Amino acid sequence: MSSEVERDVVPCIKILTLFPDMVRTVLETSIPGRAARQGQVRYEVVDIRDFSVDKHRTVDDTAYGGGAGMIMMAQPVVEAVESVRQHDDATVILTTPQGETFDEALTLELLDDLRQKGELILVCGHYKGIDERAIELVVNREVSIGDYVLSGGELPALVIADALVRRIEGVLHNEDSANNDSFTAVRDGGLDCQWYTKPPEYRGLSVPEVLLSGHHANIEKWRADQARRRTEERRPDLQD
């Protein structure tokens, strides 16, 4: 398998899951769906159960050593990854609470990786966890979207996919929108400011006068000041 990717190849996000219909439904809607329809990204959703070796499509079993919860078996996971991996150095991510925290810096890193290699593989865990041998054999990165536990890895995988897709050039109608979001360089890694739209007054609450002034320099200064203030109040951990 080659590690070189043609520049005109449409990048492909591949999601391996026990619930393919759940994943496909999300990927077909909103910005992820539009990006696929516009040919800016492809998705490949794989049912891990297709790699089971028995008629019951079994993919889990009890844990060696005892304990509550079922464990996903190594064989279906490993063979599912091997079936879709096109390049030896493809990044294969397991979504797990034990992984590194997903943030803006990691989003940009994975986006560059997707561009360079043309594929990104996301493995959705379920039950108590995945047999560690599957991780050792085919996973080269573990990622968490936060310090909490979900029923499965589908939602985290979709979070990662959405964050990446909206950053692909041309997907958003106005790329300045993404570049000015919370956690971006424009915000110095901090939070975004508050935003308003019509009408200018609603239930006794008015839009700040500066936003109606038409003075763009003052507006940008106000927004920058508000973003810093919000970061100080809500996420002081993001400040240097």
Whether the pTM exceeds 0.75: the reply is yes
pLDDT confidence of residue 188: 76
pLDDT confidence of residue 127: 86
**What are the pLDDT tens digits along the chain (240 aa)?**
444 455 458 999 999 999 999 999 999 999 999 999 999 999 999 999 999 999 999 999 999 999 889 999 999 999 999 999 999 999 999 999 999 999 999 999 999 999 999 999 999 999 889 999 999 999 999 999 999 999 999 999 999 999 999 999 999 876 666 556 666 655 577 898 999 999 999 999 999 999 999 999 999 999 999 999 999 999 999 886
Written as one string, the DSSP assignment of 174-234 is: -HHHHHTSTTSTTTTTS-------S-SEETTEE--HHHHS--HHHHHHHHHHHHHHHHHHH
pLDDT confidence of residue 3: 47
Q: Is the peptide bond before 199 cis (omega within 30 degrees of 0)?
A: yes
pLDDT confidence of residue 72: 94
Structural domains in the chain, CATH included, are 12-165 (3.40.1280.10), 185-238 (1.10.1270.20)
